[in-house]
Amino acid sequence: MKEFTRGIFKTLKELIVSSSIMRAVVYTIGHIIIAMTCNTIITGATLELAIVDAVVEPCINGVWYYCLDRVWISLKK
């Protein structure tokens, strides 16, 4: 049983470390924390407003990037 459990954890670790999705998740979390901190320090916004801005802004950027990518692909054809 120990070998089986060790194998599962090793496989999960390899999936997490080698996964682009996991790197993107970690990057996004870091981006939110950095944006929240900068927003609070630079503008003096409350922590709650800084958190909202730090979450909403990357979501809008994600939608913008998706739209840009679709247009870019269509122009490339």
* pLDDT tens string 6-63: 777 777 777 776 667 777 788 888 888 999 999 999 999 999 999 999 899 888 988 8
The helices-and-strands tally (H runs, E runs) of the chain is 3, 0
Alpha carbon distance 8, 40 (integer Å): 42
Query: What pLDDT is attached to residue 1?
Result: 63
Query: What pLDDT is attached to residue 58?
Result: 83
Query: What pLDDT is attached to residue 45?
Result: 94
